[in-house]
Amino acid sequence: MSENNESVFPEPPLAGDETATLLGSLERQRATLAWKCGGLGAAGLRATIGTSTVSLGGLLKHLACVEDTHFARLLLARKPGAPWDAVDWDADPDWEWRTAAEDTPEQLTALWRGAVERSRAVVAEALADGGPGHIGRYTTSSGESPSLRRVLIDMIEEYARHIGHADLIRESVDGLVGEDPPR
């Protein structure tokens, strides 16, 4: 931390309201993933540990997919756009993981960053239409629809789970460890 105790890394407020806390937590998760994947070339983004096929590039592409499909589908009942709409998910359910090795670091980063920006726009739209309690347009087979609150919590959990993978992979690539960049 800097001398004035202000973090340069996104932090949720210590005593913020529900919206600021949820969005702050999600932004911290996103920033951590960006840091763990940052500064690596193609070989670093393709590295795996042991018999796992999970790579940092695969994590970027997977989380881009989740960002692009989760918010828009659950909150707005929108179908995903490119490249997700051209994938035969039944025939190739691990497409984003498998094809990440074919993409350059710049392509992977741009795909993920673009998806994050689109998600931020969807969340802003939902917040303006009811705050965290906004009910999404997607309806389950049992007739339920998720709130924005639930969708944000699910996304925070998705990132947190995968940042654990990113921690291990990045350490194996170049020894980078920690929860956030040095201040």
> Tokens for 65?
């997919």
Q: How many residues does the chain have?
A: 183
- Tell me the residue type at 58: G
pLDDT band at 178 (very low <50, low <70, confident <90, very high): confident
Asked whether the predicted pLDDT for residue 160 surpasses 70, the reply is yes
Among 11-15, 48-52, 176-180, whose mean pLDDT is lowest? 176-180
CB neighbourhood size of 180 (10 A): 15
pLDDT band at 6 (very low <50, low <70, confident <90, very high): very low
> Tokens for 60?
């970027």
> Tokens for 68?
């692009």
Question: 162 near 63, Cβ under 8 Å?
Answer: yes
> Tokens for 44?
């670093």
**Long-range CB contacts (within 8 A, 24+) of 124-132:** 125/75, 125/76, 126/71, 126/75, 126/76, 127/19, 131/19, 132/18, 132/19, 132/22
Ramachandran angles phi, psi of 147, nearest 5°: -85, 160
Task: Please give the pLDDT value at position 182.
Answer: 64
CA distance 158 to 173: 23
Provide, rounded to the nearest whole percent, the portion of the chain with pLDDT above 90.
87
Considering the entire predicted model, what is its pTM? Answer: 0.92
CA distance 169 to 78: 34
Q: Which residue has the tokens 């983004």?
A: 45
